[in-house]
Structure 1
C-alpha cells in the first residue's frame, strides 16, 4: 500500500506545516485536524482487515475514497487543510457505526494515534454539527449510514 503511505505522509506533512502557520494556529479544530492522517490510516487498515464484515468494508472504502477525492463537501483545494474537517467527520461517523457492529479491539489494534480513539470518535460525532455545520453533518450522516 505505497499509495496509502504516500497519501498519509503527504497529509501529515501538510497538516503539520499548516498548523504551524498563523492561520493554522487560530483554528479551534487544530487538534482534530492533526489527527486526519491517523484516521485515514485507520480506515485503510480496517478496510483490509479480515475480521471486518464485507458490508462494513464497503463503508470504510467509501470513507477512504472521500478522503482522497479532491472535490467533496468542503474541498481542500479551495479552503486548504481546514477542508479536511468534513473528511474527519466522515471518518468518525463511519467508525462510530462500525463500533456498534464489531469488537472494538479490532479498531484499537489498528489505531496508530496517541489519543484514545474511542473517545475521539465520540467527541467528533458529538461536535460534528459545530465543526462543519449542521447541514453538512446531516448530509454526511445520510450518505454514510
Structure 2
C-alpha cells in the first residue's frame, strides 16, 4: 500500500528585535506577502517564515557558521532554475538588500548556484539550486 503524503509545507520561526521593522524588510525588500502571522513568497511551499517579537534583543540569535564556512544559514530557499535565481538576486539588490554571499557556482555539486542576503536582524537567507535539472 502506498503511503500518502501528510505534510505539505513547513515554515521557519524567527525571533526578531522589532516586528514592524522586520515586516517592512520582508515586504519591501524580499517582496513577501506580510500578515500578522507570517511572511510568505510563492505561497507556503516557497519562502515561508513566522516572525515573532523577541522578549529581549539578546534572544535574537542567527545561526553561527558551520565548520569550514563563512556564513551561518537561517533559512534556505530552493529555486526552480538559475534564471529565477538571477532574477531574485537582481530584485533584492535593487531593493537594497544586504548581500551576504554574492552569486557563485559550485561546479562539484550539481553544479549548484547560490547567493544569500541578511535581514535586519542578521538572519542569513540563502537561495540556491541547480539549473533546472
- TM-score, length-scaled by structure 1: 0.30
Larger radius of gyration: 2
